[in-house]
Chains A and B, each alone.
Chain A
Amino acid sequence: MIQHLVDGILVGSFLSLGAIGLTMAMHILRFANFSHAELLSIGAYCALVFDKLFESLLPILAAKIGPLSMTGALAISIVLSMAITGLSAVLIDRFIFQRVRQKGEELSMVFASFGMALIIRNIIGLVFGLSAELYSKDIAFAMILSRDPLLLVKPDQVFVLIAALILMFALHLVLSRTTFGFSLRAVAENPSLAQVHGVNLKRMIAAVWIIGGGLGAVAGIFYGLSYQITPVMGRDLVLPIFAATIVGGIGSVYGAVLGGFIVGIASNLALVILPSGYSPSVPFLMILAVLLVRPNGLFGEARA
């Protein structure tokens, strides 16, 4: 029971990171981006390439950091991968979403994103092959925190959780303390009014994609570090991330963080009550339950 709870929090940490980007894009651009989770794949595979590259160039970087299965090479790769993923998110928006946005309506965007997800996922499959990859083949053993009740935690997971929390806190500071953060909120509230007040809309949209892509890349890499990297990881993660976003309320960054943890914990705890075959339904039962009580999610506000 406690084990399930702890596991849920740890799973929640990368769901939250993924959900932050999704909720921001959904709020500002007003569409459900089904290709958001593909940014996680792009990030994870990017890091894989750089990781292998650095390890072969500078073997010293291949050493593990402390008890983690993280290496120096991977740490540098994370930063590079964040940048590249953010950039590709901006490019995808420039070339596809922006044009669809100018011509069509909300639903066109949803479908364009679905189409983009298919394209990205399968190109990754063509380039890297369909089978799963790992950053490190070694298995990191869990630390036993307690025997009764059994409580096991992996060092990697603790690192992932702490790193995720630090990133979230940094984002919180940016959003609440800087002019950029205010402009972003202004755009979300009322794009035309914000523009009148001199906010550069295009730049704001690009910023949202960079933040979303960057955090998505981290989420993808952390996911790969904890489990494995596959071309279809976007498909597997998109629904829990959506669930996190919706439970938290679209547009609320704090809601997304909380939503990620709620979905993570719920999917883990569900096995205590439900047969394991039903576990894919759990995030949705969560969504339904939350929406029945609060039709706009926990922190979302009604919007026409």
Chain B
Amino acid sequence: MIGVISYLVFFSTIAAILAIAVLGLNLQWGNTGLFNGGVVASFGAGAYGTLILGGTPQDGHWGGFELYYPLALLGGMIFAGVLAWVVGKLTLRLRHDYLAIATFGVAVAFENVMRNATTVTGGAQGIRGFERPLQSLIGSGFTYNLMFLIAVLTCLALVYVFLERLTVSPFGRLLRAIREDETAARSLGKSPDKVRLAAFVTGSVIIGLAGSLYGTFYAFVSPQDVLPILTFQIWAMLIVGGAGNNKGAMAGAFLIWGSWTFSGWALSRFAPVEVQLYTGSIQFVLIGMVIVGMLLWRPQGLFPERLVVSQPGGGSRGKTQAEGLT
């Protein structure tokens, strides 16, 4: 029983960290309609930034400034934000699929730099971080994990409240206005480019925060943490949870990460020994089926966006699609 609780605490920590990242993506896609295919670049920037700033000096690569932890955390977020600003300046004027591929490319390039710039980032060996904050005080056992979970949940709650406020604020309305009809927004004297960039950077800073917490928790980050599969995982969480709905985004994170890990556990538990070796491939097939099945069954996600726009007849969002092929 203790084991189950201990595992659930651990599981929830990672799920909550991923949920923060999903919230960040929800601001970009759900509220602003920016198809960010490079989520992992912001996530990685946060993790690498924090570990480089807060880490102990290491032979062979740069970094190890041993900054006070909150400063390192902040530094990671700023790093993610700056990267997003540069990327956004270059790519945000592109159309959906072009934007997705361009940002995806940025993420691949980011991983490449982390892997190859050995003197800065430790290369493929990765960066060892620092002892987790307050660990010397609490020890590294269950109590610590519980405290860390509480800290992460606090961050998640803060981000959630911030985004909920933002959504109902005039800025949030502006974001949706631009998403729905850019020309109309422009005719009202708004500057869509600036607003979009602001949303993109804010979302990336939030994703960066998730990355920072992730790096802190594992006290380690390597190029393997910033592979495109993470982008896919975070997107799947948002799609399943329901784009545009912050509660859905969080639920999606727990659900997808839960089924991802549960399928592995169930296969190792119940599959016969001869099949055990194939569980890796079987698990990927199952994950694929869950996603495809979800899209067939409930494409708007478990918690669809509640349109707050006071307009009779509901959202015009479906209409833009209807112009396409239905």
Residue ranges of A at the interface with B (Cβ–Cβ < 8 Å): 26, 28-32, 96, 99-108, 110-112, 114-119, 121-123, 125-126, 130, 191, 239, 242-243, 246, 250, 275, 277-278, 280-281, 283-285, 287-288, 291-292, 295-297, 302-304
Select one of B243, B289, B296 contacting A119, CB under 8 A.
B289
Residues of chain B from 271 to 306 with CB closer than 8 A to chain A in the complex = 278, 281-282, 284-285, 287-292, 295-296, 299-300
Given A108-B295, A287-B101, A291-B94, A122:B325 Cβ within 8 A: no
Given A239-B108, A296-B95, A118:B295 Cβ within 8 A: no
Question: Which of B12-20, B62-70, B109-117, B187-195 faces chain A?
Answer: B109-117
Residues of B within 8 A of A191 (CB): 324-325
Q: Which of A26, A102, A246, A283 has the most CB of B within 10 A?
A: A246
Whether the pair A116, B292 counts as a contact (CB closer than 8 A) is yes
Whether the pair A295, B109 counts as a contact (CB closer than 8 A) is no
Considering the chains assembled together, what is the distance between the CA atoms of A162 and B93 in angstroms? 39
B236 at interface by CB-CB < 8 Å: yes
Whether the pair B101, A32 counts as a contact (CB closer than 8 A) is yes
B228 nearest CB neighbor, chain A only: A239
Whether the pair B300, A285 counts as a contact (CB closer than 8 A) is no
Residues of A within 8 A of B235 (CB): 111
Whether the pair A284, B239 counts as a contact (CB closer than 8 A) is no
Distance (Å) between the CB of A220 and the closest chain B CB?
Answer: 20
Considering the chains assembled together, what is the distance between the CA atoms of A250 and B98 in angstroms? 9
Given A280-B112, A285-B105, A291:B91 Cβ within 8 A: yes
With A32-B97, A243-B101, A295-B95 given, can you name 12 additional A-B contacts, CB distance below 8 Å? A100-B292, A100-B295, A100-B296, A102-B326, A105-B299, A105-B321, A107-B243, A118-B284, A121-B284, A239-B104, A242-B101, A304-B323
Considering the chains assembled together, what is the distance between the CA atoms of A32 and B98 in angstroms? 10
Given A278-B112, A287-B101, A101:B90 Cβ within 8 A: no
Given A111-B291, A296-B98, A278:B116 Cβ within 8 A: yes
B102 at interface by CB-CB < 8 Å: yes
B82 at interface by CB-CB < 8 Å: no
B106 at interface by CB-CB < 8 Å: yes
Sampled A-B contacts (17; CB under 8 Å): A26-B97, A29-B325, A96-B292, A100-B296, A105-B321, A107-B29, A111-B235, A111-B239, A123-B281, A191-B325, A250-B98, A277-B112, A278-B116, A285-B105, A287-B105, A288-B90, A288-B106
Considering the chains assembled together, what is the distance between the CA atoms of A32 and B321 in angstroms? 15
Given A30-B325, A250-B97, A281-B112, A287:B102 Cβ within 8 A: yes
Select one of B232, B285, B318 contacting A123, CB under 8 A.
B285
Residues of A within 8 A of B292 (CB): 96, 100, 112, 115-116, 119
B43 at interface by CB-CB < 8 Å: no
Considering the chains assembled together, what is the distance between the CA atoms of A243 and B105 in angstroms? 9
B93 nearest CB neighbor, chain A only: A295
Interface string of B222-253 (1 = CB under 8 A from A): 00000000001001100100010000000000
B165 at interface by CB-CB < 8 Å: no
Select one of B100, B239, B278, B324 contacting A32, CB under 8 A.
B100
Pick the 10 closest A-B CB pairs, nearest first: A284-B105, A104-B299, A118-B288, A115-B291, A277-B116, A119-B288, A115-B292, A281-B109, A122-B284, A115-B288
Residues of A within 8 A of B296 (CB): 96, 99-100, 103, 112
B35 at interface by CB-CB < 8 Å: yes
B183 nearest CB neighbor, chain A only: A304
A123 nearest CB neighbor, chain B only: B285
B186 at interface by CB-CB < 8 Å: no
Residues of chain B from 67 to 84 with CB closer than 8 A to chain A in the complex = none
Considering the chains assembled together, what is the distance between the CA atoms of A96 and B289 in angstroms? 11
Considering the chains assembled together, what is the distance between the CA atoms of A134 and B76 in angstroms? 46
Residues of A within 8 A of B105 (CB): 243, 281, 283-285, 287-288
Q: Which of A28, A106, A126, A284 has the most CB of B within 10 A?
A: A284
